[in-house]
Structures are given as C-alpha cells and as structure tokens.
Amino acid sequence: MDINILLFDDYETLDVYGPVEVFGNIGKSYSLRYLSLEGGLIRSGHGFLVHTDPLQEFVEDGILFIPGGYGTRVLVSDGDYINMVRDLASRSRYCLTVCTGSAILAKTGLLKGLKATSNKISFDWVKTIDHEVLWIKRARWVADEKFWTSSGVSAGIDMALGFVEMINGRGKALEAAHFMEYMWNENMEEDPFSAI
C-alpha cells in the first residue's frame, strides 16, 4: 500500500519518522512517498531537511499521512491548502494523522461527527478548529471509519503499530516493535500523557 506522507515546513520530526520506522519494517507491504505542495526541500521544526516530490506524485487509494507541528497553525488558515487536503483525503483509502495534523484534517470538515484525538498540550486549540468533531482527550489514538488520529509525537508510533496490526496482523506489529526495541503502548483508549 502506498503511503503519501504530506510534509510542510515546521512539521514535527518524530511525528513522521517514528511511524516511517514502523512501516519501513514491514517488508514490502508499504511504499513510502514524501510529498509537498510543490516538491523540493522541506524543513522540519528541528531543521531536518528532506527532499519531497510534488503532489502530482500522489497515489490514489493509498494512505494519506499528515504529521503535526507548528506549521499546522499557519496551514489551518490557508483555504487553498485545506481544500487540497480535503481532496487528497477523499481519494485515499485511509488517512492517518499525528499530533496537530488532526487540526488540518478537522478543518477540511471530513471529521464532523466522527471521533478523533490530538496532542494533549495543544488539545484545547485543536478543539476550536471544529466543535462538531467528537474529540477524545484520553485516547492515545482513535480510529473512526477511514480516519486514524493520534495524540502527540511518539503516539504516532503506537498508532502506526495499531494500523499494522489491523492490516498485517498482530505478529507483524509485534515484530516491528521488537526490531525497533520499542515498548508499544497498545491501549489506544488511554494516553499516559493525558491531563486528568
């Protein structure tokens, strides 16, 4: 399955590369594509540069992956960008977000009436994007219809392992976690970083 990883300046580094490590360890099941609006070099919030292909390389009926980061705070006010994300998400089999990537997805209107979560530090801000989303604060990650949203930063790794479990089976998810020497937080309903 093709994973279209949508990057923008000031994305959160681990939001992307934690899940990439998971998907990259499942043999040939996933083909990773790094895309941005116009292609070229994109800089994470930590200054990491990655070469991206333009959106013309987007593969339909795959996975759209949207990270979070400070860049999302600018993009939620960019109508053209939000319309583009709505179109890409509509043409994807699944859409996965990490951290405040769910704010961008919520702004498209596609999450109305569905359950979702986001980074707990930014949770109150994300909720203001669309009050018709059923925001779940305690969740580590949430899956509703084709939309998977996760809490902050490292929660994307847990969500990615949960997604692999659904698609490829529990054995593959555990194998990937073991290879990464990662302690998988398998309880999607309980985020240890959630403020009580």
The whole-model pTM stands at: 0.96
Residue pair 132/150 in contact (Cβ under 8 Å)? The answer is no
pLDDT in tens, 49-92: 999 999 999 999 999 999 999 999 999 999 999 999 999 999 99
Long-range contacts of 184-188 (CB under 8 A, 24+ apart): 184/157, 184/158, 185/140, 185/155, 185/158, 186/158, 186/161, 186/162, 187/140, 188/139, 188/140, 188/141, 188/142, 188/143, 188/158, 188/159, 188/162
| Res. 196: pLDDT tops 60 | no
Query: Per CATH, the architecture of 2-180 is what?
Result: 3-Layer(aba) Sandwich (3.40)
The SS3 of residue 149 is strand
For 11-30, what is the mean pLDDT?
A: 94
Mean pLDDT for the stretch of residues 2-28: 95
Mean per-residue pLDDT of the chain: 95
CA distance 98 to 154: 9
Q: How far is CA 44 from CA 8, 11, 192, in A?
A: 8, 5, 26
